[in-house]
Structure formats: structure tokens, C-alpha cells
Structure 1
Amino acid sequence: MTNSANYAIIGFGKIGQALAKAFARKGIKVAVATTRDPESFTSDAAAIGPEIIATTLADAVKADVIFLAVRFAAHRDVAKALPNWEGKIIVDVTNAYGVPPEQMNGLPSAKFVAQAFTGGKLVKGFNHLGAAILEQNPSVHGGRRVVYLASDDEAAAAEIGALAEDLGFVPVKLGGLAEGGLLVQAHGNTWGQLIFQDLVKFKS
């Protein structure tokens, strides 16, 4: 691993479980939590691997890097778990498909989500692939699967890029949330241009 940060995934639906499988594949410990009692999904977490630790939301948000893998509408409920997210990186894996743009005050979805996490550094990423693809080994035909990252904080984007490498992916940085974020977001009834684009990078 490239750093000593500790990790958590909030949300344990198809995307949360796909992310957990990516961590387990590389032997990287990660906490998983939902708004439910962890006993309700402890066995599912254990079935993925010993590195996947079912815990409470209150404990999960103590991590340095938090993957937000909940329904878009639930991001505010997660944000209420802490009064301030300073010093933490939130990886926004949500998709706002079906959410009218006016409900987001005309903002890119990632910027709208970022507003809820006071003091935190938000990176949009890992959301452009469906769970069935995301959970697969990113080593494909001698290449590695690409994940897109967008953030207004270069250091946070670099840290998540390093983690993506640790997980076996190739990170491609798209710039800030207002520019790159638009390429990997859902808005109303439209998808960003890079959503579902399953790209693989081969050694040159």
C-alpha cells in the first residue's frame, strides 16, 4: 500500500459489495457500514473476505477515506453522522439519475454532494461502472481497467489515484468537479459521456 490511511465503505448494496470485493482481492482492510445494525450484514461481509469488517455508521466515519456508495438521496443522512468532515476524503460513488437538476440548484451532482460534507475533500470516482463490472478483477487481457476521478482538491485526487492503483485499476484524472465531474455524473434523465465506458489501458 502507498499510504497508511484507513478506509470505509458506506452502503452495502451492489456497488458497496463490488467495492468491498476490490479491497478483499488485494488484501486491503476496509470497514463497511449502512444505517442498519451491522449484525444484519456481517455474514455477507465475512463471505467476501476477512478484510471486510462490518461496523456501525458511527465507527465507519472515523476512517480517513470514506466511499459513499449509498443511494443519491441518502447522502445527506450519511453527512449528518459527523458535524465536520475536516481531514477526510469522501469518494462520491453515487449517481443522481432521475433527480431533477433543479433539486440540485443547477450544480453538478458531485458539487451538490460536497456541500453536505462540511470541511471534507470530495473526489468523484468509481461510479461510472456498473456493479457487475466493478466487482470483476480489473486485470483484463493483459491490461488494467480504468477508473475516472474528478476533484477540486489535487492532493485528495492524487491519494485516491494511488489507492486505485493499489486496487489494480488505472486512475484517469478528469480535473475539477465542475468540469470532469460532469463527464461521470447522471443528471435528470441523462448520463455523462463517460458513464458506462468500460476502458482498459494496456502497457505501451
Structure 2
Amino acid sequence: MSYAIIGFGKLGQALAKAFARKGIEVSVATTRDPESFAADAAAIGPGIIPKTLAQAIEADIVFLAVRYESHREVAKALPTWKGKTIIDVTNAYGVPPEELGGQPSSKVVAQAFAGARLVKGFNHLVAAVLGQDPAVQGGRRVVFLASDDDAAATEIGALAENLGFSPVKLGGLSEGGLLVQARGNSWGQLIFKDLIKFD
């Protein structure tokens, strides 16, 4: 299984740190030349590999860690995303609900990435918290996952566990997904909730 993070701002770098902690290789890309962020990638760890967008999206599992407004531009990089799983880390805060056609933002993202299996996840924590070690006082930091594809949610749940997090599935995008999505100028009820699970 190969992994990529598209977007290398604060959230993208926080995700890269999670991979680096576990020694799991991950490609990182933006719309910029990889050399422009190679030093930042190297500072996180040797398994954080800067690539072009075209190279990075060859991965099986792709974290979409760009601004919500940029998701369509990334989606155009492939004619079909069939066989790939997209983890939507975007937040559509400030985007008018009418622009989303009354749908959760992840449904709009899913439509742009035609053919992909989409999981909403890793977006409810601020980057500074997401970038910390998820092992806390004998427990593990929770990440919420929502998807209309149960198998995809299970697959990303297993990845979250490999990265040291405790995944909590919320159900479909239109139900549980709304708990971790921004709507206009309001945040879902679980956004910014930093929870720790003790087994």
C-alpha cells in the first residue's frame, strides 16, 4: 500500500509527522516544484518523499490536505480516481452552504474525485494538535472517520491505528460526517474536540 499527502501546509506537515514517527514512507506534494519544500520534508524525516503532484497521486491512499477551494484543481490531475481512496482533510469553513448545494462538503469533494472511495477524516484537530504524538497518558488520540463506503472507512481506520491514533467511525457523510464538517460560518459539533481513548 502506498501513501501520499497532497498539500504541505500545517496540516500536511502534521500528517507527515505521524508517518515519520512510525517509519512509514509517504509521498508529499503540492502544486509547486518539489524542490521548494524538500528541506521541510527532510526536516520531518527520511521517509517523507517530496514529489510532483503527478507522481504523488500514483499512491493507493491519498490525503487531501489542501484548502477546500483547491480540491477541484487537484481532482483534475487524473481522469478517473478509480481504485484509490481519498481522505478528505479539507474544511469548507466560510463556504456558503448554497455553494455546496446543501450537501456536506465531503459529498462535493467525492463528486470531484470521480471513482474514488472517499473518507472524511483527520480534519477535526488543529494542525498543532494533530502533529503531536497521539499516545497520551496511556491512551490514544481519537480521529473521527466518516464515509459512505464502509470498507474504505475500515481500511483508513486500520491506517489510523498504524499511525498510533484511535479511530472512531461516525457513519455516512450525510449523518456522522456533519459532526466534523463546517457549514457556512459554523463548525460541526466534534470539530476541535481533542479526545483520548483508553482501552
Place the TM-score, normalised by the shorter chain, in its bin: over 0.9
SS of the residue 1:190 aligns to: coil
Matched, 1:173 2:134: no
Q: Counterpart of 1:60 in structure 2: which amino acid?
A: A
Q: Counterpart of 2:130 in structure 1: which amino acid?
A: L
Distance 2:181 2:24 in 1: 28
CA deviation map 1:122-173 (0-9, x unaligned): 0000000000000000000110000000001111100000000000000000
Q: Which of 12, 15, 26 is the aligned partner of 2:8?
A: 12
TM-score between both structures, scaled by the size of structure 2: 0.99
The correspondence of residues 32-111 of structure 1 with structure 2, limited to 5 A, is 32-111=28-107
Superposed CA RMSD in Å reads 0.4
CA positional deviation for 1:187 = 1.1
How many residue pairs get aligned? The number is: 199
CA positional deviation for 1:180 = 1.1
Distance 1:32 1:134 in 2: 17
SS of the residue 1:150 aligns to: strand
TM-score between both structures, scaled by the size of structure 1: 0.97
Distance 1:14 1:164 in 2: 19
Distance 1:22 1:172 in 2: 18
Distance 1:116 1:92 in 2: 12
Contiguous gaps of at least 5 residues in structure 2: none
1:141 aligned residue: 137
Q: Counterpart of 2:43 in structure 1: which amino acid?
A: A
2:109 aligned residue: 113
SS of the residue 2:115 aligns to: coil
Matched, 1:152 2:152: no
Q: Counterpart of 1:172 in structure 2: which amino acid?
A: V
CA positional deviation for 1:108 = 0.5
2:121 aligned residue: 125
CA deviation map 1:75-130 (0-9, x unaligned): 00000000000000000000000000001111101101111000000000000000
SS of the residue 1:189 aligns to: coil
Distance 1:175 1:187 in 2: 18
Q: Counterpart of 1:87 in structure 2: which amino acid?
A: G
Distance 2:156 2:128 in 1: 22
CA positional deviation for 1:191 = 0.2
Distance 1:180 1:65 in 2: 22
Contiguous gaps of at least 5 residues in structure 1: none
CA positional deviation for 1:23 = 0.3
- Report the identity percentage: 75
